[in-house]
Chains A and B, each alone.
Chain A
Amino acid sequence: MKATERFFARVAAPLDGSLLSIVGGLILLGMLTLYSAASGNPARVSSQLFNLGIAFVLMCVAAQLPPQTLMRFAVPAYLVGLLLLLAVALFGDVRNGARRWLSVGAASVQPSEIMKIAMPLMLAWYFHKNEAALRLRDYIVAAVLLALPTLMIARQPDLGTAVLVASAGFYVIFLAGLSWKILVGVIAAGCAGMPFLWSLMHDYQRRRILTLLDPSEDPLGAGYHIIQSTIAVGSGGITGKGWLKGTQAHLEFIPERTTDFIFAVYSEEFGLLGNSLLLVLYLALIARGLMIASNAPTFFSRLLAGAVTLTFFTYAFVNMGMVSGIIPVVGVPLPLVSYGGTALVTLFLGIGILMSINKHRKLVQT
């Protein structure tokens, strides 16, 4: 009896109340929207609940691990991730024209997903190790560590994940103190290198960018997603059409409405007010994360917490931006709302890491 109580006390100890309630709010909105979006398919809701259970358990486990332990995972996780990406490139399954999946027995995994955690972990570890005297060389090494898996993922092609992995790594480098001059220089060089980047892109990626500039050019093809999701958002108005009453969603005009485009469904049914609520919740999540980062005791935990938190921002901004038509269509889900087990697990692991860092801030200081 006492043992169980102690076990629960131990599990509950690192769970941060404010993070939990914010995440709970987002999950609630997500479930409501998923129920509406998947009107023809209630199995999606129960399956998402199952995913949620697994993700929650993994979050609790991650929250238990002290940052020092997490630090020990950094290099192996990164190397395993890199190897798996290599394996995908060599033996991966092709689905929908992209080689992203690796079959392991009956199950299949998407190794690029591992990199979303492994990348900030690795870079945070690297900077932490060289904390005493950070030189330009370290930033270059970090940039290479960042570029390698990012390019491999982008080649699959999976632009959405590449963006998330790259941004997570970039946040670490930025927070580690990359000089402003270099930052500005890199951004300027990036802009100058656009045409080169363009030449590297796949046809479908170029089309997405062109489509963003003028969706009406190809209303039934590449522009269809943006046109229909923009109509859904715009027709939602201030108060929305009401839960389960979105016509764009229920008459199946919105493609991928349970996954990447679920925000269109949400926005159509809950309107500008709903959108504002969602923005507030994400903002609260990010604010809480940045607070944890700011209070973290070690360079490693600071960088990790900051990068994980800002990755949530990348998810949210890219997804909502793409659905409302200001960013090209890339496969980034709406965090904690979109259907999909893998993304949910990754996000909850991130939350778990934040909780762990939050809990262990005093222990390490002594």
Chain B
Amino acid sequence: MKLGEFKNTQLELYYFQLRLGVAGMVVLAAFTLLLARFFYLQVVQHDYYQTKAEDNRISIVPIAPNRGNIFDRSGIVLARSFSAYTLEISPRLVPDIDATIKEMESVVEVRASDRSRFRRMLVEAKGANSLPIKTRLSDEEVARFAANRYRFPGVEINARLFRQYPHGVLASHVLGYVGRINDRDIERIEAEGVEANYKGSDQIGKTGLELSYERQLHGATGYAQVEVDAGGRGVRTLSRTAPIAGNNLVLTLDLRLQEVAADAFEGRRGALVAIEPDTGGVLAFVSQPGFDPNLFVDGIDPVSWELLNNSPDKPLNNRALTGIYPPGSTFKPYMALAALELGKRSPTQAIADPGYFIFGGHRFRDDKVGGHGTVDMYKSIVESCDTYYYVLANDMGIDAISRFMRHFGFGARTGIDLAGEATGVLPSQDWKKRRFRRPEQQKWYAGETISVGIGQGYNAYTPLQLAHAVSIIANGGVVYRPHIVNYIDNNRTGERTYIEREPLRTLPLKPQNLEFIRKAMVGVNIDGTGARAFAGAGYTSAGKTGTAQVIALKDNEKYVESRVQERHRDHALFIAFAPVESPKIALAVLVENAGYGARAAAPIARKVLDYYLLGKRAPKPADPATNATKDRKRESN
């Protein structure tokens, strides 16, 4: 019994130990499995996980470069970058944006315009890391927010670069503006393959020089390798490649002259382009009315946008670059030159002007009732006789006119360093064929040539083209590519890259022909249509007035300014250069719906030339009220 019990106990112990042994085996097997897993992770896959850990740890942070500044020819700053604090929300980190903004208002003022801009950006820039709710914080606001920062997870104060245009509306169409990078910009950047360079940038040139010199102005983005923690906060900087600031632009534009020219418009709509004939450098480039580019920099508010976009005066249109207008009588000197060059007329050949020209049963009327009497070429320019050019155009034919005018850049892009230039229309048989669909429309009628002779009909050019052409007459037939930037200034190396100093070509014009035209244009300003505007000028100037019809008149209808709706009144034009002996400035002025060129456009040219050549400055109009009085006085005179 005792022995059996003992045996039983022994057996029991044996079974227990057997089970312990099985358990021990399981333990060993399990630990071997773990060891195999460790071996797999830490030896076989080590490189993979090592890279993963480094990717976790190291974040490449782009550092946006300073955008280059823009200066006028005398060094006045037209556009500059400065750094300011911005309050930004990371939409992905903030679950209830509305509540956060509401709470934020107890700390800093958030205007309705800030809020609506933020909303719009939220829609436009899907997936953006952070969006500004308030820009350009004052030091006090920064301090106040910093003290309350813990209340706003996902809201940060960041130092950002801003663009400022110190002279606001002045030269706005030249400078253009920068704005927040949107989806379309991203597409463009990607198409150019430079998206890497925009990793740290918020803004990009949208129009004007800011757009056309974007590559120069932007600079190269720098990078910092930053060790970050799991929350994405930088712990320390491991290495840093400094950004390279964008290049500065130094313009040929003279801001003071630009200001004089803009003021001379006295609130009327129009454009003025002044070019230095010996270089092709643009001295003034005015499109009135303008706009304040500063409004666009951190996203324009909807109210201002509505105002600008829906204004009947179209302030956002760059009239000098993209507006196309019939040149009116300013076309006559070129017609005369063509006649001389092509041997169609001699200077002394004269016609008797009855005050009209009848062609194909249609009566083409001259401005002056009863005509100009006996008219030779000189007189035809000085007095702006239409009949002379009706006949001349008819004699030359449209294709000869077209071929000749092409040399002066009519109807072709000048190639100026601004994007979006309009081509204009230099009519020809070929052009009409391409322009129209139906065969009866495609045919060129001889009668259409006659209107072209006085700068009407299908003729349509930009003010820039008019200025470009007159500068070719001024400099003796040398064609330059007009340009607004004089040189690109690399502010690291001090290296200057000049834009277009060499002429494109020289037109093979006979000097005596050119001399004759110039003399006739001098005559315009001495005892012709420009004489009144240029009375008593202390320099010799050459000019030509022009009046371009906006609506066609019926055969026997006479144009009476006061009877025509304002928007249908004629455009006033004037082209000029001075001093005649060695021209320093050539310009074209266009005043929309202002009537006669002699009365509305020539005085503007006078003011610009006076300032540029003599330093004389007309007293600046104090405010619109006095302007209005002046206008009324003029009317009563």
> Cβ of A325: which chain B residues have Cβ within 8 Å of it?
37
- In the complex, are the beta carbons of A324 and B23 less than 8 A apart? no
Q: Confirm or deny: B52 has a beta carbon within 8 angstroms of a beta carbon on chain A.
A: yes
> Cβ of A272: which chain B residues have Cβ within 8 Å of it?
38-39, 42-43
In Å, the complex CA distance between A271 and B49 comes to 13
A305-333 vs B, CB cutoff 8 Å, 1 = contact: the mask equals 01000100100010011001110000000
> Cβ of A174: which chain B residues have Cβ within 8 Å of it?
19, 23
Nearest A residue to B12 via CB reads A299
Q: Confirm or deny: B361 has a beta carbon within 8 angstroms of a beta carbon on chain A.
A: no
In Å, the complex CA distance between A235 and B229 comes to 16
> Cβ of B94: which chain A residues have Cβ within 8 Å of it?
none
- In the complex, are the beta carbons of A287 and B43 less than 8 A apart? no
Q: Confirm or deny: A293 has a beta carbon within 8 angstroms of a beta carbon on chain B.
A: yes
Q: Confirm or deny: B46 has a beta carbon within 8 angstroms of a beta carbon on chain A.
A: yes
In Å, the complex CA distance between A299 and B8 comes to 13
Out of A232, A293, A294, which one reaches B53, CB within 8 Å? Answer: A232
Nearest B residue to A283 via CB reads B31
- In the complex, are the beta carbons of A253 and B56 less than 8 A apart? yes
> Cβ of A248: which chain B residues have Cβ within 8 Å of it?
53, 56-57
Out of B16, B23, B41, which one reaches A230, CB within 8 Å? Answer: B41
B525-563 vs A, CB cutoff 8 Å, 1 = contact: the mask equals 000000000000000000000000000000000000000
Out of A175, A228, A251, which one reaches B19, CB within 8 Å? Answer: A175
Give the shortest distance, in Å, between A366 (CB) and chain B (any CB).
15
> Cβ of A230: which chain B residues have Cβ within 8 Å of it?
41, 49
Nearest B residue to A240 via CB reads B42
Give the shortest distance, in Å, between A236 (CB) and chain B (any CB).
6
Q: Confirm or deny: A258 has a beta carbon within 8 angstroms of a beta carbon on chain B.
A: no
Q: Confirm or deny: A360 has a beta carbon within 8 angstroms of a beta carbon on chain B.
A: no
Give the shortest distance, in Å, between A5 (CB) and chain B (any CB).
38
Give residues 13-43 of B contacting A (CB, 8 Å).
15-17, 19-20, 23-24, 27-28, 30-31, 33-35, 37-39, 41-43
Q: Confirm or deny: B627 has a beta carbon within 8 angstroms of a beta carbon on chain A.
A: no
Q: Confirm or deny: B624 has a beta carbon within 8 angstroms of a beta carbon on chain A.
A: no
Q: Confirm or deny: B343 has a beta carbon within 8 angstroms of a beta carbon on chain A.
A: no
> Cβ of B228: which chain A residues have Cβ within 8 Å of it?
251
Out of B24, B28, B57, which one reaches A251, CB within 8 Å? Answer: B57
> Cβ of B150: which chain A residues have Cβ within 8 Å of it?
none
Out of A235, A271, A294, A317, which one reaches B20, CB within 8 Å? Answer: A294
In Å, the complex CA distance between A237 and B15 comes to 43
- In the complex, are the beta carbons of A279 and B34 less than 8 A apart? yes
> Cβ of B227: which chain A residues have Cβ within 8 Å of it?
247, 251
In Å, the complex CA distance between A317 and B42 comes to 18
Q: Confirm or deny: A60 has a beta carbon within 8 angstroms of a beta carbon on chain B.
A: no
> Cβ of B128: which chain A residues have Cβ within 8 Å of it?
none
Nearest B residue to A313 via CB reads B27
Q: Confirm or deny: A302 has a beta carbon within 8 angstroms of a beta carbon on chain B.
A: yes
Q: Confirm or deny: A234 has a beta carbon within 8 angstroms of a beta carbon on chain B.
A: yes
- In the complex, are the beta carbons of B38 and A231 less than 8 A apart? no
Give the shortest distance, in Å, between B22 (CB) and chain A (any CB).
8
Q: Confirm or deny: A33 has a beta carbon within 8 angstroms of a beta carbon on chain B.
A: no
Once A247-B57, A279-B31 are accepted as A-B contacts, the answer to whether A175 and B38 lie under 8 Å apart by CB is: no
> Cβ of B508: which chain A residues have Cβ within 8 Å of it?
none
- In the complex, are the beta carbons of A252 and B50 less than 8 A apart? no
Once A252-B229, A321-B34 are accepted as A-B contacts, the answer to whether A234 and B48 lie under 8 Å apart by CB is: yes
Nearest A residue to B32 via CB reads A279
Q: Confirm or deny: B241 has a beta carbon within 8 angstroms of a beta carbon on chain A.
A: no
In Å, the complex CA distance between A253 and B49 comes to 14
Tally of A interface residues using CB under 8 Å: 43
In Å, the complex CA distance between A286 and B20 comes to 11
Q: Confirm or deny: A282 has a beta carbon within 8 angstroms of a beta carbon on chain B.
A: yes
- In the complex, are the beta carbons of A286 and B27 less than 8 A apart? yes
- In the complex, are the beta carbons of A175 and B34 less than 8 A apart? no
- In the complex, are the beta carbons of B52 and A271 less than 8 A apart? no
- In the complex, are the beta carbons of B23 and A237 less than 8 A apart? no
Out of B19, B33, B49, B54, which one reaches A233, CB within 8 Å? Answer: B49
- In the complex, are the beta carbons of A234 and B24 less than 8 A apart? no
- In the complex, are the beta carbons of A237 and B50 less than 8 A apart? yes
Q: Confirm or deny: A177 has a beta carbon within 8 angstroms of a beta carbon on chain B.
A: yes
> Cβ of A238: which chain B residues have Cβ within 8 Å of it?
42-43, 46
- In the complex, are the beta carbons of B56 and A247 less than 8 A apart? yes
The SS class assigned to the B binding surface is helix
- In the complex, are the beta carbons of B15 and A310 less than 8 A apart? no
Nearest B residue to A252 via CB reads B230
Nearest A residue to B231 via CB reads A252
In Å, the complex CA distance between A296 and B43 comes to 42
- In the complex, are the beta carbons of A324 and B37 less than 8 A apart? yes
Q: Confirm or deny: B148 has a beta carbon within 8 angstroms of a beta carbon on chain A.
A: no
Q: Confirm or deny: B235 has a beta carbon within 8 angstroms of a beta carbon on chain A.
A: yes
Most B C-beta atoms less than 10 A away, residue of A231, A293, A299: A231
Give the shortest distance, in Å, between B146 (CB) and chain A (any CB).
23
- In the complex, are the beta carbons of A306 and B34 less than 8 A apart? no
- In the complex, are the beta carbons of A234 and B45 less than 8 A apart? yes
Once A310-B27, A317-B31, A324-B38 are accepted as A-B contacts, the answer to whether A235 and B50 lie under 8 Å apart by CB is: yes
Give the shortest distance, in Å, between A312 (CB) and chain B (any CB).
10
In Å, the complex CA distance between A313 and B22 comes to 14
Once A252-B231, A326-B33 are accepted as A-B contacts, the answer to whether A310 and B23 lie under 8 Å apart by CB is: yes
> Cβ of B235: which chain A residues have Cβ within 8 Å of it?
251
A171-190 vs B, CB cutoff 8 Å, 1 = contact: the mask equals 10011010000000000000
In Å, the complex CA distance between A290 and B15 comes to 14
- In the complex, are the beta carbons of B49 and A306 less than 8 A apart? no
Give the shortest distance, in Å, between A153 (CB) and chain B (any CB).
23
In Å, the complex CA distance between A238 and B52 comes to 17
> Cβ of A247: which chain B residues have Cβ within 8 Å of it?
53-54, 56-57, 227
- In the complex, are the beta carbons of B52 and A235 less than 8 A apart? yes
Q: Confirm or deny: A276 has a beta carbon within 8 angstroms of a beta carbon on chain B.
A: yes
- In the complex, are the beta carbons of A290 and B23 less than 8 A apart? yes
In Å, the complex CA distance between A287 and B24 comes to 8
Q: Confirm or deny: A275 has a beta carbon within 8 angstroms of a beta carbon on chain B.
A: yes
In Å, the complex CA distance between A325 and B77 comes to 62
> Cβ of A231: which chain B residues have Cβ within 8 Å of it?
49, 52-53, 56
In Å, the complex CA distance between A107 and B41 comes to 42
In Å, the complex CA distance between A272 and B38 comes to 7
- In the complex, are the beta carbons of B49 and A234 less than 8 A apart? yes
B226-262 vs A, CB cutoff 8 Å, 1 = contact: the mask equals 0111110001000000000000000000000000000
> Cβ of B37: which chain A residues have Cβ within 8 Å of it?
321, 324-326
Most A C-beta atoms less than 10 A away, residue of B42, B54, B57: B42
> Cβ of B19: which chain A residues have Cβ within 8 Å of it?
174-175, 177, 306
Out of A271, A275, A283, A294, which one reaches B17, CB within 8 Å? Answer: A294
Q: Confirm or deny: A267 has a beta carbon within 8 angstroms of a beta carbon on chain B.
A: yes
> Cβ of B20: which chain A residues have Cβ within 8 Å of it?
175, 290, 293-294, 306
- In the complex, are the beta carbons of B38 and A275 less than 8 A apart? yes
Give the shortest distance, in Å, between B196 (CB) and chain A (any CB).
25
Once A230-B41, A286-B27, A306-B20 are accepted as A-B contacts, the answer to whether A235 and B34 lie under 8 Å apart by CB is: no
- In the complex, are the beta carbons of B31 and A237 less than 8 A apart? no
Most B C-beta atoms less than 10 A away, residue of A235, A286, A317: A235
Instruction: Other than A235-B49, A325-B37, give 6 A-B pairs with Cβ distance below 8 A.
Output: A233-B38, A235-B53, A251-B235, A267-B38, A283-B31, A324-B38
Could you show 25 A-B contacts with beta carbons less than 8 Å apart?
A: A174-B23, A175-B23, A231-B56, A234-B41, A234-B45, A234-B52, A234-B53, A235-B50, A238-B42, A238-B43, A238-B46, A247-B54, A247-B227, A253-B230, A271-B42, A272-B39, A276-B35, A290-B20, A290-B23, A290-B24, A302-B16, A306-B19, A313-B30, A320-B34, A324-B41
